[in-house]
Structure 1
Amino acid sequence: MDLKQLQYFVACAQTESFSDAAKILYSTQPSVSKVIKSLEDTLGMQLFERLPRGIRLTVQGQKVYHYACRITNEIDVLENMASRGMTKWVRISMNPSSWFANQFVDFYNETFEKNYHFQLTTAGVRSVMERVRDYMDDIGFVYILSRQQENFLHELAKNKMEFVPMYETDVIFYPGRQTEFYDSGKEKVRLEELEGIRFIQNYQDEFFDFGSVQEDAFQWRDLDISGLQGSTLPGAQNRCADT
Structure 2
Amino acid sequence: MELKQLEYFVTACDCGSLSKAAIKLYTTQPNVSKVIKALEKELENTLFERTNKGLKVTSYGQSIYEYAKNILKNANLITNIETEGKPSVFTISSYPSNIIATLLVKLYQNNPNILIENHQGTVDEITTQVAHGISQIGILYVSEKQLAAFRHIISHKKLEFIELAKKQACIYVGPNSPLYSKKSISIEDLFSLRFVRGLNDFFSMEHHLDEVNVGTIGFEKLDFAVYTNSEHFVTNLLLKTDIVELGINLASSKYHQYDIKNLWIEEEYTYLSIGYVMEKDHVLTNTAKEFVEYLKYMLSL
Q: TM-score range by the shorter chain?
A: 0.3 to 0.5
Higher strand share: 2
Of structures 1 and 2, the larger Rg is shown by 1
TM-score, length-scaled by structure 1: 0.47
Higher relative contact order (CA 8 A, sep 6+): 2
TM-score, length-scaled by structure 2: 0.39
